[in-house]
Every structure is written in structure tokens, then in C-alpha cells.
Amino acid sequence: MEALPYLIAYLTPAATALGLWLGGGWTFLGLGVVFGLIPVLDAVGGLDTENADADGEAARDRNPLFNWVVRGWIVPQLTLLAVALWQASTADWSALAWVGAILSVGTTNSAGGITIAHELMHRRGRFDRALAEVLMTTSTYTHFCVEHVFGHHKTVATPDDPAFAPYGQTLYAFLPRSLVGGLRSAWRHETQRATRKGDVGTLRDRRLRYALDVALAYGLVAALTGPVGVAFFAAQSLVSMVLLELINYIEHYGLARRQLPNGKYEKVTPHHSWNSAHRVTKHFLFALPRHADHHAHASRPYWKLRHFDDAPQMPAGYATMVLLSFVPPLWFRVMNPRVRHWNAGMAARYPDQAGAQVAA
């Protein structure tokens, strides 16, 4: 039964599909679920700070539902995309309906698809990593499979990370650096790996394979739905990838690892990611809000991620924080005092690192 609450994520593709069928302003329905309903449910549902003990974790490991709740996402995501592309190329949508459809489908593919791909790309099994690759292809963001695992997790909370948002940086200054820098970083990491392993020019070279994935996806969309379908696919992909980087912004804003006198950065700890303990968001995003534990122990599956009381805590769930980030003065008013308080607390807690400098 513990796996069943995570099925709330499936509400978004269902609502989005219903909105597409109804047309008009109803195409915003999926977007409304994510940024309207979920924050309300967060307020009602309260916080979840409980962690399973060793026996509880072992029981979850034996429960196949935890795996199939995420693996099964591929079905509604591909179905929703097929329906959306067909309707985009055949239905006589108004401009309002077009905007709603693009935003709802892109948000669904990001909040659900990329979140689940993020879970699967950290696993060792080929099947799970293949599913992650397919899901990221539907957002035209395949390189994230390389950059997140081999780049972001090593350089998080340092200037070397394209997804690092230093104190005082607005979302709008952050996005270009993160979008372009992530692609460059992924190319660099895969070039080094493919050269070292002798995979250059083969399908094991993800620079080549990911490009073929995207080309095949767009070719298939063009063949079945024409240029209108291609435009819709590209537009919803843009929404999806921007929302992903928005999440990166709110997860690490202002939290920097200290650079030690020897030039290296301190070890990644739960202190370098913002957590959200809101119960509904935890289930809706497959425990992604327990981000501190994820960065400290990247191999832990979502059902074993823990809440840490001594990790920095967001004042609201992810959806609310994303909306807040769109208005920098409000974002800074809410988050900057928290960043300053947290960093001051860390400096007092580790006085032995007084000679270290915070990455900026």
C-alpha cells in the first residue's frame, strides 16, 4: 500500500488528456493540476518527515510496485503525446487552446516524465536507463542523462556546475547559463568517456546515439503529423526543459560548497540542497523533494530517500516555489534571508573551515 500514494502523479496526464479532449480553455487543465491543485493539497496534507527503518526499507525493496509505478509512466506519457500531436494537427484549436495544450503537455512531461527519468537514469539496469533515455527524448533533452549523473552530481553547488544558482542571481539570468552550459558539459563528459572506452563513432557513444534518438523522434512526428505536429512537439519540449532547469534553480539556490585552502571543494552533504517536506509534493514528484539525501546518496531509490531535519528546508512545495521564482523580488524576499541564515549557521557550525571560501 505504501507505493499507491505515488500514483497521484498519474493525475496530471489524465487531466491533460481530458483538457485536450474538451478543448478551448480546458487545455490548461493539466497545468492547473500542477500549479493549482497540488499547492492546495500541500497545504492540507501537511509535512512528512518520517523515515523508514531498516526493516521498512527492506520491505519496500521487496515490493515490485515501487518499481512499476515509475516504469509504467512510459505508457501514459507516450499515449498523451500521441493524442496531443494528433489533435494539434487535426483539431481547429484557438490560440488560447494552443497555449494551454503546449503548457499542459510540456508540464506533464517535465513534472512526471523527467522526474521519473531522473530516478531511472541513476540505476544500473539497462532497461531502466533505456526508459530514461526514451522519456528524455520526448522532451528533446537526452543529454541530461549524461550531464546530471556525471556532471551535476560531481560539481553541484560550485561554479563548475551549470545548474548552480549563486546568491542574488535571478531565474532569468540563470536559465541561459544552465540550458547552454548543461549541453556543453554533457558533450565534454561524454567525449572523455567515449574516447577512454573506445566508443567513439559507435552507438555506445551517447553524443551520436542521443542525436539519433532526437532525429528519429522528430522524423516520426513529421511523418505522422506534419510540420504542425513538429512545431507542437518542439514547443512542449521547450516548456519541459525550461521547467526542469527551474527545478534546478530552486533546489540549489544560494547553497555553495566551501572551497578549501587546497583548492578542492568540501564533500557534498545534505546541507547543499533545499528540501521540501510537504507530503503531497513528495508523492507527486516521487520523493524528489528529499533532494538533500539524493545528492548525498545518489544510488538510493526514491522509496528509501530520507528527510533530514538539519537540511535547509523550503517554505513551500515545489510548485509554489517555481511560481515564486518567476518574480525575482518576491523570490529574493522569501529566500535570501533563509540563505543568509543558513550560511551563517554553517559557518558557526564548522569554525575549523574558517579559511575556506564559499563558491560564488
Q: Kindly report the backbone phi and psi dihedral angles of residue 75, in degrees, each rounded to the nearest multiple of 5, phi listed first.
A: -70, -55
Selected residue with higher pLDDT from 359 and 341: 341
pLDDT given for residue 351 in this prediction: 58
* Distance in angstroms (rounded) separating the CA atoms of residues 181 and 135: 21
pLDDT given for residue 350 in this prediction: 63
pLDDT digits (tens, 9 = 90+) for 35-83: 999 999 999 999 999 999 999 999 999 999 999 999 999 999 999 999 9
pLDDT digits (tens, 9 = 90+) for 131-141: 999 999 999 99
Instruction: Using pLDDT thresholds of 50, 70 and 90, give the confidence band for residue 199.
Output: very high
Q: What percent of the chain clears pLDDT 70, i.e. is strictly above it?
A: 96
The answer to whether the beta carbons of residues 284 and 101 sit under 8 Å apart is no
- pTM beyond 0.85: the answer is yes
Longest CA span, the chain: 66
Q: Give strand pairing partners of 278.
A: 47
Instruction: Using pLDDT thresholds of 50, 70 and 90, give the confidence band for residue 4.
Output: very high
Q: Kindly report the backbone phi and psi dihedral angles of residue 306, in degrees, each rounded to the nearest multiple of 5, phi listed first.
A: -110, 155
pLDDT digits (tens, 9 = 90+) for 260-303: 888 889 999 888 999 999 999 999 999 999 999 999 888 899 99
pLDDT given for residue 360 in this prediction: 46
Angstrom CA distances, 279 to 45, 46, 81, stand at 6, 6, 29
pLDDT, the chain, mean: 94
- Residue-wise DSSP of 263-276: SPBPPP-GGGS-B-
Q: What percent of the chain clears pLDDT 90, i.e. is strictly above it?
A: 89
Which amino acid makes up residue 78? L
Range 191-217 average pLDDT: 97
pLDDT at 355 over 50: no
pLDDT at 356 over 50: no
* Distance in angstroms (rounded) separating the CA atoms of residues 313 and 164: 18
pLDDT digits (tens, 9 = 90+) for 296-332: 888 899 999 999 998 999 999 999 999 999 999 999 9
pLDDT given for residue 103 in this prediction: 98
Instruction: Using pLDDT thresholds of 50, 70 and 90, give the confidence band for residue 346.
Output: confident
pLDDT given for residue 25 in this prediction: 97
Range 146-165 average pLDDT: 95
